[in-house]
Structure 1
Amino acid sequence: MANTDPMTQRVELATVMDRLAVDGLITEYAVAVDDGDWEGYRGLFTSDGRADYRSAGGIEGDAGQVAGWLAQTMELFPMRQHLIVNRQLRFGPLDHDIGDTAQVRADYVNPMRFAGHGGGSTAPDFVCGGRYDFALLRTDSGWRLHAVVVNEKWRRAPQNRPEPAAT
C-alpha cells in the first residue's frame, strides 16, 4: 500500500529528483571526457573540487589541473567511450541537513582507440576498467563533483606487432 502522508511523499519525491540529478551529473562527466569538453568537465566540479587519476597512471589535482592533463593525454585517443555502470548511491548529511552530500561508487569500462592509422578500424585499441568513487555536494547551482577517484583494476593494451612485410 502506498504511503499517503503528504510530507513523506514530498521527501520521497525529493529523493527521486536528487537521484536523477546525481545520475545525470555522472553521465555528464563521462560525456565531457569522451567528447573532450574540458571546459564542461571543469564546470561539473565545485570550486575546490579535485580528481585523482594516479591509479591509471595520471595525476591528482584540482579540476582545472586535471582537465589540462586530460586534454593533453586524450589526444592519444581520439575515439573513447566511458561506460559507467553498477552505480551505488548514498546520500548523507552536511551541517545536520540530510541530503547535502552524495557518494557514488560505480564500475567503468573504457574502450579507446589510439590515434594514427587514420583513426579507422586498423588503429589499435586500448581498454581499461575499474571503479570510480565520486563525492558530490549540493550547491546553489545543483549537484557538483567535489572529488573523483579512479581505481583502475585492469587494462588491455595492444601488443607490439611487427609491421607487415612489403611485397
Structure 2
Amino acid sequence: MTQRAEHSGVMDRLALDDLITGYAVAVDDGDWEGYRALFTPDGRVDYRSAGGIEGSTDEVAAWLAEMLQHFAIRQHLIVNRRVTLSGQDGGPGDTATVRADYLNPMRLAGSGPDTEGGPTAPNYTCAGRYDFTALRTADGWRLTGVVVHEKWREVLPPGE
C-alpha cells in the first residue's frame, strides 16, 4: 500500500468518525435538519429493536422529534467504533461500514425537577450496538443506513 493510499484511508476514517459523532450530537440536540443532512437522499434507519420504527430518514426524523420530547436530557455515547472501508486494488473505496457500541443515558421529562437545581441524573438508560453504512458523495461521507441493535435498558421509578 502506498503512502498516498494510507493517508487517504486515515482521512476517510477521521471523516467517518466525524459523521458518527455528528449523528449522536444531532439526535441529542434535536437538530433534525442536521440529522437529515448526514444521510444520502435514500437513507434508511431502523430503530425497531429499541421499540421504534424503520423508514426513510425523513420519516424517522419526524418520529424521533416527537418521541424524544419525552426526555428532558439525552446523551448518546458512541464508542468502540470499528470502521471497514471497502476498496478495490488496495486503494480507498467509496463505501464503508461502522459498527459501534452505544450507551444512552436519558432523563424522562416530568420525572422530577429538571431545572433550577433539581435532579438531573438519568433515569432511563439503554445500550446496544449500531451498524452504520456510509457512502462517499460529492459532499463527503454520508450515511446510507443505520440499524440499532438494543441489548438492554433500565428504567428507574420516578424520584430515583
TM exceeding 0.5: yes
User: Could you tell me whether the CA contact under 8 Å between 1:53 and 1:59 is conserved in 2?
Assistant: yes
Q: What is the 5 A alignment of 1:87-166? A: 87-93=81-87, 98-116=92-110, 117-119=112-114, 120-121=118-119, 125-159=123-157
Q: Distance in 2 between matches of 1:8 and 1:91?
A: 16
Counterparts in 2 of 1:124 and 1:18: CA distance versus 1, 3 Å: closer
Counterparts in 2 of 1:93 and 1:15: CA distance versus 1, 3 Å: closer
Structure number with higher relative contact order (C-alpha < 8 Å, ≥ 6 residues apart): 2
Q: What secondary structure is seen at the aligned counterpart in 2 of 1:137?
A: strand
Q: Gapped runs of 5+ residues in structure 1? A: 1-6, 162-167
Q: Distance in 1 between matches of 2:53 and 2:120?
A: 30
User: Could you tell me whether the CA contact under 8 Å between 2:85 and 2:96 is conserved in 1?
Assistant: yes
RMSD: 1.8
User: Could you tell me whether the CA contact under 8 Å between 2:24 and 2:76 is conserved in 1?
Assistant: yes
**May I ask how many residue pairs the two structures share in their alignment?**
153
Q: Gapped runs of 5+ residues in structure 2? A: none
Q: Where does residue 63 of structure 2 map in the other structure?
A: 69
Match among 34, 42, 52 for residue 46 of structure 2: 52
TM-score (ref. length: structure 2): 0.90
TM-score (ref. length: structure 1): 0.86
Q: Distance in 1 between matches of 2:12 and 2:144?
A: 16
After the TM superposition, list the runs of 4 or more consecutive aligned residues in structure 1 that deviate by more than 2 angstroms. none
Q: What secondary structure is seen at the aligned counterpart in 1 of 2:109?
A: coil
